[in-house]
Structure 1
């Protein structure tokens, strides 16, 4: 039954995508983040919905009369340079077959990023895109939060099987990154029922993060909580809600959860932590030996016997930073960090531009929450192999879109003209 509903829903909307590519953007963002096909049990489970939606969206871009604007910002250009560098490293990858398979997946993510920043052009579209991003992940916050409460926290929360967030740690990071965007929706909502529903979603998603048993997520959650208060214009109410969520989560979780969290400060006795440190040493050794790094997906048993401090303790990178370092060398890591820095600066410019402009407060709030989401990725991602996760690039796309809408030369000129006309009328 689920398969039939999903087929009818997606295929039924495709004709609209040809006329309005923005609908395609919402659809493939929803499919890539929520993975609704992975919640089915029949033909839809492995059906290439995303590829079909993207293909129809590209056709729509060509034949549609809607204007597309590519914003050639420094942030976007640096991402382009990173993609070119990653392509070069793939040609010389230590594991060629695995490297090209992962290159194909990563470049699809980057292609979607470009389509998004070209097709989304108005305030309403940006807000709708933000809602899809937040609620696609928020669905698992509801599901996982309820599951954690019903099981009294005795079972781990996992994402949909066969997806990028099937692992409990990956799902926890995704929820952490989505929480600030959900909070933005709560800030902007004016209807009492929707506001209460979004607040319930924040609470359930927080419980779901705790129920994942992810230690990295707890560190990321602490960082997000701090920056959420700092970035919020309603610091008292934000801090109060966060303080109420903490005891709720603590009351639900059993003693075994606290035992696992306490193991953070005893890494020398934790085989998982030692494995991560070994993987980080592997990444450093590969980068020191090869200026191009090892290429995508080089963290294999065969390569560990050559480069790892302990060749018998093979692990995934377990860090976005060491993942990029091992796969693309110091140049790749520098470009990746520069991209993150420029994305943050984009948010700062938007916030600065909106200061003293009540009509643009929505954009300031969204930019601030995107920055908080980036903090979650930067901190939580330090312990996870998720450098190319779609959600992070969707969050950066939101910042680029805000800059395109508010800070492009045409937008600034239009704002200046309106300000001048208003002054003349007042005079």
Structure 2
């Protein structure tokens, strides 16, 4: 009962604060979309369309109060909108129309809301608030899972987090992937946060969150998590200025992992090298082979949930008879997009990831020249590391239209738009969410705002001579 009342208070707080600061309502939608309070509430919230209400508030408040200094139209945004249009068109020739509409209902909203986010998230504080909201919404799921894993050792298919079942963040493949993607973001917040109190132990709290995310990934017993963990460490090591220190931490962590993991975890991970003797892994390969044959005949894909039409002939192994399996999921972001959206959808998906990597790298390169923009470099590296995890772990999990990929893309767009404003504004970077425009002369000139939702009158800048001593 108390938990339900607390969740109701948080929900109404997002709505109430959003009236005064519209971007807060957008953060509220991110919280609802990620944390899903309606799934663990016993009263009121579980009876309301909480996501629809918060989403309508986010769009409505932006249109009424916040239509200022929109970012330049970027290639990433064009690709996001194009993907939203394309997934809608594929419904026309969907192989399983009813199931396709069911997935379209949430996938389309994810893609289009992600395209909308950079119009609201503009300043440094807003970007950080978005990252904080997303990390803590995810942490509510993987922190209890990680703590219970330290006690019980975890297990494949175990529900140790907030949610039960085998969907959403209760599914091990998705939970382990988003947990690892949150690691570099949490480390960034621990070092560069402006919203949290500057206490000596605050960075340790974020490192603890990152550590529990790693423990959660291991505790799910997902083989994709191990691959993502290796890629995460390798990418962070390459981008780090303290390679020796990070290398020592990584080696110690690997030794601790080998020492502490159970025989059940070891046995499951060993199947990576012997996939032909493990039905789950081998059937996935057969599904991918079926998908390639399917798109050869249907180059525009079969619409959402097209996998429901597959039939996989699994040959017998070690004197065991073969069998036929119907409706086996793609278990890969690449084959999921290819089978459902065809070659045009896969091309847009890969282009979106590639363009984002290039733009983030360029933004970090330009920001290194200014000590005040070190946070841009750090956030760029964190986003690149998270996307690298998604693109590798996701090769074995069908999560292409889950929010984390699209939210990371949107944060990258917001970061690049911020850099553009800084470089094209005659004033110094604005760090607050309410921008005060300044001019280098006594005549007030209003440059493009770097953030905020209400503009203040320009304040002329007057040079004051230093006192003589």
Task: State the TM-score, normalized to the length of structure 1.
Answer: 0.91
Specify which of 300, 306, 309 is matched with residue 292 of structure 1.
Answer: 300
Question: Aligned-pair distance for 1:385?
Answer: 0.6
Show the counterpart of 2:16. 15
Is 1:184 the equivalent of 2:188?
yes
Q: Distance in 2 between matches of 1:41 and 1:250?
A: 41
Residues 74-126 of structure 1, C-alpha deviations (whole Å, 9 max, x = no match): 11112222222222211111111111221121111122213311111111111
Q: Distance in 1 between matches of 2:67 and 2:110?
A: 23
Question: Aligned-pair distance for 1:155?
Answer: 6.6
Specify which of 283, 294, 312 is matched with residue 324 of structure 2.
Answer: 312
Q: The residue matched to 1:312 in structure 2 has which SS?
A: strand
* C-alpha contact (below 8 Å) 1:148/1:155 kept by paired residues: no
Residues 399-422 of structure 1, C-alpha deviations (whole Å, 9 max, x = no match): 1001111125x7424369999999
Aligned residues: 420
Q: The residue matched to 1:91 in structure 2 has which SS?
A: coil
Show the counterpart of 2:444. none
Question: Aligned-pair distance for 1:243?
Answer: 3.0
User: What's the Cα RMSD here?
Assistant: 2.6
Question: Aligned-pair distance for 1:71?
Answer: 3.4
Structure-2 change in CA distance of 1:234 and 1:16 (3 Å): same
Q: Distance in 1 between matches of 2:73 and 2:344?
A: 22
Show the counterpart of 2:408. 395
Q: Distance in 2 between matches of 1:363 and 1:157?
A: 38
Q: Distance in 1 between matches of 2:153 and 2:393?
A: 25
Q: The residue matched to 1:264 in structure 2 has which SS?
A: coil
Q: Distance in 2 between matches of 1:283 and 1:29?
A: 33
Q: Distance in 1 between matches of 2:126 and 2:277?
A: 50
Q: Distance in 2 between matches of 1:122 and 1:45?
A: 34
Show the counterpart of 1:50. 51
Show the counterpart of 2:342. 329
Q: Distance in 2 between matches of 1:43 and 1:416?
A: 47
Mapping 1:334-353, distance limit 5 Å: 334-353=347-366
Residues 300-353 of structure 1, C-alpha deviations (whole Å, 9 max, x = no match): 1xx214xx5659223111000000010011121111111110111121121111
Show the counterpart of 2:257. 249
Structure-2 change in CA distance of 1:265 and 1:45 (3 Å): farther
Is 1:373 the equivalent of 2:386?
yes
Task: State the TM-score, normalized to the length of structure 2.
Answer: 0.83
Q: Distance in 2 between matches of 1:33 and 1:134?
A: 9
Mapping 1:11-410, distance limit 5 Å: 11-45=12-46, 47-65=48-66, 67=68, 69-153=70-154, 157-158=158-159, 159=161, 160-161=163-164, 164-188=168-192, 190-300=198-308, 303-305=309-311, 308=312, 312-314=324-326, 315-408=328-421
Q: Distance in 2 between matches of 1:218 and 1:65?
A: 43
Q: Distance in 2 between matches of 1:181 and 1:313?
A: 40
Structure 1 or 2: more helix by fraction:
1
Residues 37-80 of structure 1, C-alpha deviations (whole Å, 9 max, x = no match): 32334553464222111111222112215625143111111222
**Which sits farther off after the overlay, 59-68 or 137-146?**
59-68
Q: Distance in 2 between matches of 1:244 and 1:71?
A: 45
Question: Aligned-pair distance for 1:150?
Answer: 1.1
Q: Distance in 2 between matches of 1:398 and 1:184?
A: 14
Q: Which runs of 5+ in 2 are unaligned?
A: 315-322, 430-437, 442-460
Question: Larger Rg: 1 or 2?
Answer: 2
